[in-house]
Amino acid sequence: MTLTPKVRDRFLYVGIGLTFVVLTVLGTFYAARPTEFAFRWLTFACVSALVFGYQLHDFWIYKRKLRFWLPMMLLFVAHFLFWTRYVRPHFDGDPHWVAGGAITFVEYVVVTLSMKFILPTKGRNRAKS
């Protein structure tokens, strides 16, 4: 049985959404109070959106390739583990502007270089009319 690209994409979107929900629910076990959860994980969500949003934008032409989604998911899991194992315990869940900016910058560079190493960027038409 062959799936049409539209149906396959729907399954992919549902899988990504479920993965995000599962990671978020697992993250709630680290929060002592609901307000603590909301504030601390809001910072995580904003950093994640910044770091991975640019990658989604830059490499979206590969959205139908496993070579795009597998590294993105692995890098997101690494980002999540780094946040829960290092940032949260050392900065009490909320790195201040200088430390948070440095951590975000380093993560952005690592994720960008990883994606550029995995996916070809030569010959890509970046100018869209």
Instruction: Tell me the one-letter amino acid at 10.
Output: R
DSSP string, 33-86: SHHHHHHHHHHHHHHHHHHHHHHHHHTGGGTT-HHHHHHHHHHHHHHHHHIIII
Each residue of 78-120: pLDDT tens digit? 998 988 888 877 776 566 666 777 888 888 999 999 999 988 7
pTM for the structure as a whole? 0.63
Question: Residue 91 has what DSSP assignment?
Answer: H
